[in-house]
Amino acid sequence: MGPEHNSRSDRNTLRVVALVVFFLVVFMRGWMCDDAFISMRVVDNLVHGFGLTFNPDERVQGFTNPLWVLLLALPHHLVHDPYWSCIGTSLVVAVAGAIVLTYFVARDAVVAALALVALAFTQAYADFSTSGLENPLSHLLLIAFLAIYLNPEWRLRHAQWAWLLGGLVLVNRLDGILVVLPALIHLWTKLSWKRSLRFALIGLSPFVAWELFSLVYYGFFIPNTAISKLGVDIARSEMMGQGLVYLVDCLEHDPLTGLLIAGGVTVGWLHSDWSRRHVALGILLHLLYVVWIAGDFMAGRFLSVPLIAAVCLLVASAPERPDPAQLASAAALIGVVILLSPHNPFRANPKPQGVPPSGVVNERDWYLDNTGVLANLRRAAYKLHGWYREGRAMADAGKVAEQHCNAGLSGYAAGPHVHILDLAALTDAFLARLKYEYRPDWRAAHYGRPTPAGYLETLRTGQNQIVDPKLREYYEKIRLVVRGPLFTAERWITIWKLNTGAYDYLLE
């Protein structure tokens, strides 16, 4: 065996060691947020034959991540535990993404190892490689897409697969398309229009199929979660100001994420290969969208996807045999930033005491005591959370319908026979369309609506007891769509009118 064989063996060993370290860090930082249990209640309903919806008596898309929800169905059917089926799937998908990054995007083993270590110690990526949300699947699909697109030899040869992965990114979460959109447009221009059209139709077919299903089953193309969060009457200047606050919070509490995104965009934009510039443009589009929608209340959640794209740019742009001095400098810089970061894995972070003025919190710290992996290894600690106990109390008391401002843990624990009126309006098609009453202290993604008088009684009895006559009439339209038979002329006429705003006057 010659030196070349030994060198190749050493590089493979380094990749494997980096993957093991990556897995251990992500596993130990594993957790689930309350919103994840909203998706898990939908998964549980689907597995038990109640339909792809949060409340079995209503067809409402109360989740933003169709592909993730469908992926979770099989493991949940096998495991019958919302926590470990979700955590296990998240870890498998996260490791799969790390493997693709290590072997198919990075050209050098040391660069790949450095990238994995850096990602594992960012708040945005490490925290949301679990959490129960769709992020790990978005990461995997994006990494696989960029493995093809950033490789000059694969870009055109496997363009159809790039289109399919881009389409799946869109199915997993609608706003994920922004990162890959410039690259897909670039791919379109590099092939004949006939081939591009064929690849685009094939690649986007899963998205088209989902949208058609959504229209037939739910009555709407857009997820109810998007309607509840984006259809609020808040000045755009305020929304964008809060979005900038979200980015600044990242720089303050998770500087490594900011450093890697800035580095990836810079390297991509200055690279001679235009494919890199298209990915950098996609990152900027996604960041602009984050600012436009006021960011989120979960620190780092909406930055993990642009972070992955930036890291892929960095590792794909590194030479096959990088300068050891440059690697040492990069490793030293990453190490210093990790050690100085307020939220690194070596430092115990106290549970937040209230919401800061920014409205942005480290969501993992809120739930760690009950939904952290280490807390659940010995017993189901998530069932000890106060909201879970409230849900169990609803079920034990034989409640028909109850309202709750946090519908995840409480909703899952209550089970399918208790209708949960989600005051955040994420899973309620009627509340989501009511006018949001502006508050100066509004918080991103927390746009709850007040419950109209008589609405809870309506859900409990099945008789429309809403006091306001216009809202009572509007609810009848919604009820026909989300509760009535799928294929009736009256329902489809109502679907058309609701989607075209013909009944909006009833909400004034």
Distance separating alpha carbons of residues 411 and 361, to the nearest angstrom: 23
In the block, residue with structure tokens 């190749």:
8
Q: Hey, how many other C-beta atoms are within 10 angstroms of the C-beta on 232? A: 16
Residues facing 404 on adjacent strands: 422
Q: At what angle do helices 66-79 and 135-149 cross, to 10 degrees?
A: 120
Residue with tokens 């008596």: 57
What are the C-alpha distances in Å from 245 to residues 5, 360, 361, 363?
51, 9, 12, 16
Amino acid type, 211? E
Q: 258 with 251: CB under 8 angstroms?
A: yes
Gyration radius (Cα) of the chain, Å:
24
Q: Which of 84, 104, 90 is nearest to 26 (CA)?
A: 90
Enter the tokens of residue 349.
Answer: 């972070």
Compute CA 459 distance to the chain's CA centroid, rounded to the nearest angstrom: 30
Backbone angles phi, psi at 155, to 5 degrees: -55, -50
**Residue 401: φ, ψ to 5°:** -150, 135
Strand pairing category for 401-404 and 419-422: parallel
Which tokens belong to 281? Answer: 């443009």
pLDDT confidence of residue 1: 47
- pTM reported for the whole predicted model: 0.94
pLDDT of residue 350: 67
Q: Residue 356: which residues within 8 A CB-CB, separation 6 or more?
A: none
pLDDT by 10s per residue, the chain, length 508: 444 544 667 788 899 999 999 999 999 999 999 999 999 999 999 999 999 999 999 999 999 999 999 999 999 999 999 999 999 999 999 999 999 999 999 989 999 999 999 999 999 999 999 999 999 999 999 999 999 999 999 999 999 999 999 999 999 999 999 999 999 999 999 999 999 999 999 999 999 999 999 999 999 999 999 999 887 889 999 999 999 999 999 999 999 999 999 999 999 999 888 899 999 999 999 999 999 999 999 999 999 999 999 999 999 998 888 888 888 888 898 888 888 887 766 566 667 777 888 899 999 988 999 999 999 999 999 999 999 999 999 999 999 999 998 999 999 999 999 999 999 999 999 999 998 888 888 898 888 888 999 999 999 999 999 999 999 999 999 999 999 999 999 999 999 999 999 999 999 8
First to last CA, the chain: 79
The region that residue 132 occupies, defined by phi over 0 for left and psi between -120 and 50 for alpha, beta otherwise, is: left
Q: Outline where 429-500 has alpha helix (H).
A: 429-432, 455-461, 469-483, 489-499
Tokens of 13: 């060993």
